[in-house]
Amino acid sequence: MKWLIDWLDHRTGHRKWIREALFENIPGGSQWRYVWGSTLTFTLFLQVVTGLFLWMSYSPGANNAWESVYFIQYEMNFGWLLRGIHHYAAQLMIILLVLHLMQVMIDGAYKAPREINFWFGLLLLQLTLALSLTGYLLPWDQKGFWATKVATSLLGVIPVLGDSLQKLVVGGSDYGHLTLTRFFVLHAGVLPGLVILLVVFHIYLFRRHGIKPKEPKTKPDEYFWPQQVFKDSVACLAVLVAILLLIVRHRLFDTEGPLGAELGAPADPSQPYDAARPEWYFLFLFQFLKYFKGGQEIWGAIYIPMGILGFMFLMPFIGKWKMGHRFNLLYMMVLAGGAAVLTGLAIQEDRSKPELRLAIEEAHQNAERVLELAQSESGIPVEGAVSLLWNDPLTQGPRLFARHCASCHRFGGKDGMGRVMDEEKDPQTASDLKGFATREWLTRFLNEESFHSPEMFGGTQFSEKGKMRRVVSKITDYDAEEKLALEKVIVAISAEASLPMQKTIDENDLEIIIEGRRILDEEESCMDCHLFHNEDEETEGPVLTGYGSEAWLIDFVGDPTHSRFYGEKNDRMPAFLKLGSLDLKSIELIVKWLREDWYRPESTP
């Protein structure tokens, strides 16, 4: 063994290197205060290693990026752990950088002859922030997409060059494949390369000038090995433990949240995302920007932050005087305090916005839903996971309902998206469609009191005129036998809809359904106006054959003025397809959603 090491040492001189590395003198002995630099080197090491492994499965591209991150996070063995380490180490790195900077400032280690090293440190701080910013976009989820969009849009406010600069970064005027390839090269190539280069020089210069101890020294000098190495390794262990705790915290404390880093719903430029917020360490800038009027953003986004940072480059010279050093410390305190206050304000302002909470909730729902769909048997199509949400009745139905139907109809008293409607502005003038064509819904419909309530037909002209109101008024006087017959008719009409949620009870009540059909067929007060499995005749009221079924509803929404439905008696409902205000696919999505006909994970074998 010894001869091998001798052989190696003769050729590489590694003994001298190790000796120099380990037996560096630390004036005043080892200190816990000196660990920050080492923990930062350690997090950089973590990022390089986990980053390279992530790289093996990540695919930059507008319909592959989210999908590959999904695959890492949910399909690959321990992918959540790998991604979690990378995500949370990045967050801790920012905290450690601030601690390191503060330590250097307080100990006066930024002053001559260490100016250049201080500047390197400031550059490293900016590079780390740039790494965070570029990395935030790579999963191509709604959060990263919209947050980064804000960041790149701000580039556009730079005079003269802004527009071109923005196009260069984004890779065109629209976000897409090239945005991701460019951000990825920056994030995984250019920026880490620069960071490693600067860190090497940073450590070299640090070794050249040595540690700046706090005077007067309270302990005798020590070598770096073993006591300082011990302290450094314990600190690195603490960092790692903190990262692991952050990764598993939701499982550990049984709170709601992902195992490891979050992955939102895939980026969708057409879908508003009110929950767009930058990472917490950029919140102060986010808040700061709110105080600048249109046309002056450049002051909040570029000039002032650059000025503040630029001034820090002068600190080594200002710090030459005792008062100067104190001024520098005060400057840093004010800066840190200001950032903390702005961050607090941003959080507080967000907390006081109920819409934001709804938006965040919707974002979570979409993220969970797309996961269910991606994990389904049919998997992710080539167009990308965003198409899963676009074709999903559960996701699109409420959105479309809120936009096109909720100004008259309601869904469970709300607009479909869970928002309460303004009854002054958009009073309810048509029925509540939650549970449409179910037995319960039809029971409410065929009851005089509820028929005239705004939840059913109270807001329509059918409440004031027409034959239906006469029919329901007669129902009130039904005797027990007639009521029983009515119940059977309701079961039979409801079965026409073949609602997925009534599948089991419909199957069980087959006899009642047959009986109900027979009664309906013979009941003149119904058959006077409606048709039921005898399509060739003329009708006054809506056809009851297939009532509430997918095909019936699609045709109905498409054109309620059709002779099969209300014909000329149609109240105010627009013929959505005929007028072109909705396409067939959108109507299908609304109808499927109303019928609660969507993919459910437990229903797959």
Partner 1 sequence: MISEQSNSASDRRGFFAGVLSIIIGGVVSIFPFAAGLAVFLDPIRRREKTGRGLIRVASLSSLPSDGSPKYFPVIASRRDAWNHYPSSPIGAVYLRRIPESEVQAFNVACPHAGCFVGYQKSQDHFLCPCHNSRFALNGHIDDKNSPSPRGMDELDVEIRNDEEIWVNFQTFQPGKEEKIPSA
Residue 390 in the binding site for partner 1 (CB under 8 A)? no
Q: How far apart (Å, rounded) are the C-alpha atoms in residues 53 and 76?
A: 12
Residue 226 in the binding site for partner 1 (CB under 8 A)? yes
- In the complex with partner 1, the residue whose CB is nearer, 101 or 370, is 370
Residue from the set 133, 380, 471, 575 that interacts with partner 1 by CB under 8 A: 380
- In the complex with partner 1, the residue whose CB is nearer, 233 or 407, is 233
Residues 6+ apart with CB under 8 A from 261: 73, 80, 83, 84, 86, 87, 88, 247
Residue 70 in the binding site for partner 1 (CB under 8 A)? yes
Which residues, listed in sequence order, are joined to residue 141 by a DSSP beta bridge?
266
Residue 588 in the binding site for partner 1 (CB under 8 A)? no
Residues 6+ apart with CB under 8 A from 131: 47, 90, 187, 191, 192, 195
Looking up tokens 């007669």 gives 474
Residue 429 in the binding site for partner 1 (CB under 8 A)? no
Q: Are strands 222-223 and 25-26 parallel, antiparallel or unpaired?
A: antiparallel
CB of 79 to partner 1, least distance (A): 5
- In the complex with partner 1, the residue whose CB is nearer, 79 or 560, is 79
CB of 65 to partner 1, least distance (A): 11
Residue 34 in the binding site for partner 1 (CB under 8 A)? no
Decide if 1 contacts 7 (C-beta within 8 A). no
Using the contact rule CB under 8 A, the part of the chain among 40-48, 99-107, 352-360, 504-512 near partner 1 is: 40-48
Residue 75 in the binding site for partner 1 (CB under 8 A)? yes
Residue from the set 188, 374, 408, 485 that interacts with partner 1 by CB under 8 A: 374
Residue 41 in the binding site for partner 1 (CB under 8 A)? no
SS3 at position 25: strand
Using the contact rule CB under 8 A, the part of the chain among 232-240, 292-300, 333-341, 570-578 near partner 1 is: 232-240
Residue from the set 44, 85, 180, 543 that interacts with partner 1 by CB under 8 A: 85
Residue 237 in the binding site for partner 1 (CB under 8 A)? yes
Residue 57 in the binding site for partner 1 (CB under 8 A)? yes
Task: List the x/- string, 316-355, binding to partner 1 by CB under 8 A.
Answer: ----------------------------------------
Decide if 133 contacts 126 (C-beta within 8 A). no
Using the contact rule CB under 8 A, the part of the chain among 11-19, 75-83, 327-335, 519-527 near partner 1 is: 75-83
Residue 76 in the binding site for partner 1 (CB under 8 A)? yes
The terminus-to-terminus CA distance of the chain in angstroms comes to: 61
Task: List the x/- string, 508-547, binding to partner 1 by CB under 8 A.
Answer: ----------------------------------------
Residue 79 in the binding site for partner 1 (CB under 8 A)? yes
Using the contact rule CB under 8 A, the part of the chain among 50-58, 420-428, 513-521, 578-586 near partner 1 is: 50-58
Q: How far apart (Å, rounded) are the C-alpha atoms in residues 273 and 365?
A: 13
Torsion of CA 467, 470, 471, 472, to 10 degrees: 120
Residue 221 in the binding site for partner 1 (CB under 8 A)? no
Residue 56 in the binding site for partner 1 (CB under 8 A)? yes
Phi and psi dihedrals of 411, rounded to 5? -130, 105
Using the contact rule CB under 8 A, the part of the chain among 46-54, 265-273, 419-427, 494-502 near partner 1 is: 46-54
Q: How far apart (Å, rounded) are the C-alpha atoms in residues 255 and 476?
A: 51
Residue 50 in the binding site for partner 1 (CB under 8 A)? yes
Total residues found in the chain within this entry: 605
Q: How far apart (Å, rounded) are the C-alpha atoms in residues 50 and 456?
A: 58
Q: Where are the alpha helices (DSSP H) in 408-523?
A: 439-445, 448-451, 467-475, 480-496, 503-508, 510-522
Name the nearest CA neighbour of 124 among 149, 146, 145, 104.
Answer: 104
Using the contact rule CB under 8 A, the part of the chain among 45-53, 112-120, 277-285, 519-527 near partner 1 is: 45-53
Residues 6+ apart with CB under 8 A from 84: 243, 246, 247, 259, 260, 261
SS3 at position 186: helix
CB of 604 to partner 1, least distance (A): 14
Side chain identity at 99, as an amino acid letter? L
Q: How far apart (Å, rounded) are the C-alpha atoms in residues 436 and 542?
A: 15
Q: How far apart (Å, rounded) are the C-alpha atoms in residues 13 and 499?
A: 80
Binding site for partner 1 (CB under 8 A): 42, 45-46, 49-50, 52-54, 56-57, 64, 67-68, 70-72, 75-79, 81-82, 85, 225-227, 229-230, 232-234, 236-237, 240, 374, 378-382
